[in-house]
Amino acid sequence: MPLDPETFDALIAAIRRFVAERLRPLEERVAEEDEVPEEIVREMREMGLFGLSIPEEFGGLGLTMGEEVRVALEFGRTTPAFRSVFGTNVGIGSQGLVMAGSDAQKAEWLPRIASGEIVTSFALTEPGAGSDSASVQTRAVRDGEVYKLSGTKRFITNADKASLFTVMARTGGEGAHGVSAFLVPADLPGVSIGKPEKKMGQQGAHVCDVNFDETPVPVGNRLGEEGEGFKIAMRVLDRGRLHIAAVCVGVAERLIADAVAYASERKQFGKALADFQLVQAMIADSKTEALAARALVLETAERKDTGEPTVLEAAAAKYFASEMVGRVADRAVQIFGGAGYIADYGIERLYRDVRLFRIYEGTSQIQQLVIARETIRNGG
């Protein structure tokens, strides 16, 4: 059930101020230190950001998908690392539990996830399983009332901060039907976390390997039945793709605003860059694409909130929005010219940051396959 309009408008206004006054001034510091300051994390907890998508009965805000993407749009106007602080709690790290968890599992974990006491993480990708997510090799072998979990997960967001992992592991034969999902506390024996990877962009948002060595996971920590893990993962990613698409739109809108401000002030040949038609063409293309992506995201979120299937539409939104923001970032660098290549202006940082959007939560090529498959299945 959506928040009443007045309450939701107040939430958006508070987030907009938080982004503008607290987060944007810290962007360069976070990029240099590769760490989000703890006082910012604390403020995010106090604002309820870790529980945006957690039902109200468990202490969250219980936002609808339409409301969640509006929040994601606002957080797109700063470095994506800030959103990643709570992003796994809102999306891939918690939604498997929300969708498929038992009453006991929800009661045990969701209140602490919503408060930010627990940071969650989603452990699907492996050294040999990325886009081919049905081929995971991490194994969970049942031994009485526990599963012995062994394997390595790679590029896991927030792994070094997480207290709880949703882990996809093989309990049966090959293929998607042999994969099950487990809730794995980080303090169980045999769990070890690798050092944060050095990345092209999104400094401050850490990804690490997670290793499991005969980790004893109680049977009661399995999500759903054996063999349902892949289905749970795909449902989680379906929602996550729409969230990421909204972030892409927010970043694009930030880049357009920065490019327009710079083009209006920068003088060449005796007039502002914004007066040149070829610069105007780049601005026009960027604005048009961002508006189209925004409309697709909001329409798909509304459709999801009515209970309609959105597999195709979520994939299309993520595909179009992530490709769109890459083009907008490239044009922004071009409009800034030499300044766009210099770190002090921040444009080159966002240019690197947005490159990841075309890869995680399913690459653009995976989205194309999903879109084509669903379109053919539905007869066009």
Could you give the residue numbers annotated as active site?
Answer: 361
Contact 348, 340 (CB under 8 A): yes
| Residue 227 near residue 256 (C-beta atoms within 8 A) | no
Q: Enumerate the β-bridge partners of residue 217.
A: 147
d(CA 22, CA 18) in angstroms, rounded, equals: 5
Query: What b/e sequence results for 106-132 when a residue is b if at least 16 CB atoms lie within 10 Å of its CB, and e otherwise?
Result: beebbbbbbbbebbbbbbbbbeebbee
Q: State how far the Cα of 24 lies from the Cα of 16, in Å rounded to an integer.
A: 11
Q: 379, exposed or middle or buried, with CB in 10 Å at 0-12, 13-18, 19+? A: exposed
